[in-house]
Amino acid sequence: MKKLSMKFVTSSDEVTTLTINEVREDITDAEVNSLMDEIITQDAFYSTSGSLKKKKGAKIIDVTETAVEVL
């Protein structure tokens, strides 16, 4: 499973992170940038430190899960 972690600078000049679980395996940098731009333009999310104002960074996290036998 892949997760998309996006960091934004808020109106209070603090950094907040928005994470989306189970993103497509073939998501591109251009799509991530476009998504982040749209989130900012639409003012889609609000954090405790204010509106999301600019992009700070993003990364794809590859999560591997392994079941553990519990006795």
Q: Looking at per-residue confidence, does 5 or 48 come out higher?
A: 5
Q: What span, in angstroms and rounded, lies between the C-alpha atoms of 4 and 27? A: 9
Sheet holding 46-47, edge to edge: 15-21, 2-10, 50-62, 46-47
Q: Name the residue type at position 27.
A: I
**The pTM is what?**
0.86
Whole-number pLDDT of residue 28: 96
> pLDDT tens, 44-58?
988 899 999 999 999
